[in-house]
Amino acid sequence: MELTSVNDATRIILENTLDYGTEAVAFTDAYRRVLAEPLVADRDFPPFDRVTMDGIAIQWQSYQNGQRTFRIESTQTAGDVQHTLQDPAACIEVMTGASLPINADTVIKYEDVTIENGVAQLKFTVREKQNVHFRGEDRMAGAAIVPTGTLLGPPEIAIAASVGATEVMVKKLPSVVIITSGDELVPVEATPLPHQIRSSNVHCIATLLKPYQIEVNFIHIPDDLEATQQAVKEALLKYDVLILCGGVSQGKKDFIPKALQAEGVQKYFHKLSQQPGKPFWFGRKDRNVVFALPGNPVSSFLCARRYFIPWLRQSLGLEAFDHTYAALSADYVYTSPLTYFLQVQLYQENATLMARPVMGHGSGDFANLVENQGFLELPKEQTEFKKGDIFPLWRYDTL
């Protein structure tokens, strides 16, 4: 069987991204969702001339005229109705966040004045309009503050609150199911027999999707062709995306490809020119997209990170890739004519992100994943990779 290159697989997958529409959600539930309509300023930002330092507010012209002492008329704090400076030769004490008093245009912080018997004496030179954040200086009413396509984080949620957007329009998420297969798998809470293992791949991949607020459903099927086909049939009717783990290679109980074919899923490729993660199957049926990943833990995690996450990001209107790169910390040799995803530890050296190779015991050694922070993608056209050479990096953490 001809192997599909990593570049071709990436292209095919990204040609099959889908738009799942939009929905309104409470702004408090919009963290890590993708904005579908811009957040627009409902009034000027800031909405008034805002004092930025505790101190006194004066009229600049009085200072220009040579005045250096100012009688205190009143005190204005944040939240007070705007005061008016009645006497141009006087001042008003103001607190950070307060409205600048009418007839005042300059604020002098307390550290630059002395106050005695209700009179403020200036100690230093003053600049006109200092320590004032003027109305509309950041954004004018009607301006788009957060554009469509933004992945919402804490600052954007704060903006939503500030403009009174109790609900925001976001990109709708696909419904996702992770289907595991294998008679050797038992639930996490079970005590496995010597020939069994606890199911962990599903939780690894589900956690990988959490930063995008994907709620994953789980199905486990036995190593049986009829049961596999029935599970696939039902899943295609219920979910947008099927992620299958295991059963895609050439073993006698690897029934996934047969079941997918029987249910009318069009295969785009099966087996990649890469290590780990060679037995990866990708296909589509109408608006169902199917990622059938290898069963080995490192392979399934790598394929989900390298292929599913970019597909998901592009489907949601984000850039597919974060374009992160790292430099090898030591020479490395890999002689197979495959793209190799090298597990690496990451550290900074002179403002350069460095990748230190850490060897494990193959694609089943998922304990080795905890020693590293990413995969360095080494091209199949090379066999020798020199210290300092820079390659694409796929961090485990997708944030």
User: CATH number for the domain including 152?
Assistant: 3.90.105.10
Specify whether 123 is located in the same domain as 83: yes
Digit-coded pLDDT (tens) for 210-259: 999 999 999 999 889 999 999 999 999 999 999 999 888 776 778 999 99
1 in a domain, yes or no? no
147 in a domain, yes or no? yes
Specify whether 205 is located in the same domain as 127: no
Specify whether 34 is located in the same domain as 166: yes
Which DSSP state fits 151?
B
Q: How confident is the model at residue 117 (pLDDT cuts 50, 70, 90)?
A: very high
335 in a domain, yes or no? yes
Q: What is the pLDDT of residue 304?
A: 97
Q: How confident is the model at residue 368 (pLDDT cuts 50, 70, 90)?
A: confident
Task: Point out the least confidently predicted range of 35-49, 92-106, 130-144, 195-209.
Answer: 195-209
For 186, the 3-state DSSP assignment is strand
Specify whether 61 is located in the same domain as 158: no
What is the mean pLDDT of the segment spanning 374-395? 97
User: CATH number for the domain including 117?
Assistant: 2.170.190.11
**The domain boundary residue, chosen from 146, 171, 196:** 171
Q: What is the pLDDT of residue 1?
A: 67
* Closest by Cα among 197, 174, 170 to 184: 197
Specify whether 301 is located in the same domain as 389: no
Q: How confident is the model at residue 340 (pLDDT cuts 50, 70, 90)?
A: very high
Give the predicted TM-score (pTM) of the model.
Answer: 0.89
Digit-coded pLDDT (tens) for 150-193: 999 999 999 999 999 999 999 999 999 999 988 888 888 989 89
Q: What is the pLDDT of residue 365?
A: 65
What is the mean pLDDT of the segment spanning 84-109? 98
Specify whether 166 is located in the same domain as 178: no
User: CATH number for the domain including 217?
Assistant: 3.40.980.10
Integer Cα distance of 243 and 195 in angstroms: 25
Digit-coded pLDDT (tens) for 73-84: 999 999 999 999
- Whether the pLDDT of residue 364 is over 60: the answer is no
Question: What does each C-alpha distance from 134 to 46, 90, 138, 144 come to in angstroms?
Answer: 7, 22, 9, 19
What is the mean pLDDT of the segment spanning 1-26? 96
Q: What is the pLDDT of residue 362?
A: 62
Q: In what order do the strands lie in the sheet with 288-293?
A: 216-221, 176-181, 241-245, 288-293, 281-285, 266-270
218 in a domain, yes or no? yes
What is the mean pLDDT of the segment spanning 383-393? 97
Q: What is the pLDDT of residue 369?
A: 82
Q: What is the pLDDT of residue 363?
A: 57
Integer Cα distance of 348 and 371 in angstroms: 17
Q: What is the pLDDT of residue 197?
A: 79
294 in a domain, yes or no? yes
Specify whether 11 is located in the same domain as 29: no
181 in a domain, yes or no? yes
Cα end-to-end distance, the chain, whole Å = 36
Specify whether 183 is located in the same domain as 198: yes
Q: How many domains in the chain?
A: 4
Specify whether 383 is located in the same domain as 245: no
Question: What does each C-alpha distance from 176 to 173, 180, 202, 288 come to in angstroms?
Answer: 9, 13, 12, 10
Specify whether 302 is located in the same domain as 331: no
Are the C-beta atoms of 299 and 277 separated by less than 8 Å?
Answer: yes
295 in a domain, yes or no? yes
Specify whether 264 is located in the same domain as 365: no
**The domain boundary residue, chosen from 69, 103, 133:** 133
User: CATH number for the domain including 365?
Assistant: 2.40.340.10
187 in a domain, yes or no? yes
Specify whether 165 is located in the same domain as 27: yes
**The domain boundary residue, chosen from 316, 347, 370:** 316
What is the mean pLDDT of the segment spanning 47-70? 97
Containing structural domain, residue 368: 325-395
- Whether the pLDDT of residue 308 is over 70: the answer is yes
